[in-house]
A and B are shown apart, each in its own frame.
Chain A
Amino acid sequence: DAEITQSPRHKITETGRQVTLACHQTWNHNNMFWYRQDLGHGLRLIHYSYGVQDTNKGEVSDGYSVSRSNTEDLPLTLESAASSQTSVYFCASSPVVLGTGELFFGEGSRLTVL
C-alpha cells in the first residue's frame, strides 16, 4: 500500500544543533507540506512544495528550510534548533487535482529541544 512515513518519530536535541526530519511518500504526489502542531495554535504551515525543485514559505517558516530533489521526499531542516521549536511536526502530501485537495498525513515527529 502507498503511504507517507516520517522519521524519526521522536527526537530530543539541544539548543543550537541542526536537526533534519525526514518525510517520504510513495503515492507519487506532487504536493508536499510540513506543518507543526502546538497546543493553542492548531496546525500551522511551515513550508510546502508543488514539485521537484519548488519550495514555498508558509505561515511559520523562520528557522526552517526544505529542499525537494525528488518527488518522494521533503526533508525539513532546523538550522539551529531553539526551544520554541519544540513541537509535533506533521508531513502531508496531496495529488495535483482540482477539488478536495485532500491531504494525507504522516504519523508525526515529536521534537523536543532542550
Chain B
Amino acid sequence: QKEVEQDPGPLSVPEGAIVSLNCTYSNSAFQYFMWYRQYSRKGPELLMYTYSSGNKEDGRFTAQVDKSSKYISLFIRDSQPSDSATYLCAMRGSGNTPLVFGKGTRLSVIA
C-alpha cells in the first residue's frame, strides 16, 4: 500500500459545480498537507497548504484535513473551465523531509 492514495479520475463536471477531491494516507507522522495544481505540460504549482488538522479557505478553494481519519480534501466552489487541471495532494512529516505525492486527479470542467 502506498503512503498516499488518490483516485486518478478522470473527473468531469459542468461549470459551476462543486468539486470534491480527496486523498487518504497511512503515515501518522505527516503534519504538512498541500494541494498542487498542474496544467497540461507544465510543472505543478502550490495551490493550498494546511498544517495539521483543520480547514483553510482561499477564495473558491477550501482545504480540509482530518488527521484522525487520515483523510484530506480539496473543495472547489463554482468551478470554472480554467480549473481544468490535474490536482495532486502532497504531504510530509516534521523537519526538512521530502514531500510524498498522491497520483493526482485529472479534473475537467465543461462549459
Contacts and interface: CB of A to CB of B under 8 A. Distances in A.
A39 to B, nearest CB: 8
Interface residues on B, range: 20 to 34
Contacts of A25: none
Given A99-B51, A100-B49, A105 B43 contact: yes
B43 A108 contact: yes
Given A43-B44, A106-B43, A108-B41, A101 B102 contact: no
Interface in B4-51: 6, 8, 32, 34, 36, 41-46, 49, 51
A90 B43 contact: yes
A106 B41 CA distance: 11
Nearest to B46: A102
A64 B25 CA distance: 28
A59 to B, nearest CB: 9
Contacts of B42: 107-108
Contact of B32 (A44, A45, A50, A100): A100
B87 to A, nearest CB: 11
Contacts of A48: 98
Contact of B45 (A35, A40, A105): A105
A55 to B, nearest CB: 13
B45 A99 contact: no
Interface string B50-64: 010000000000000
Nearest to A44: B101
A23 B34 CA distance: 24
Given A100-B32, A107-B43, A42 B102 contact: yes
Interface string A87-104: 000101000101111110
Considering the complex of A and B, which 9 residue pairs feature the smallest CB-CB distances, nearest first? Answer: A105-B43, A42-B103, A43-B101, A100-B49, A102-B46, A42-B104, A105-B44, A42-B101, A107-B43
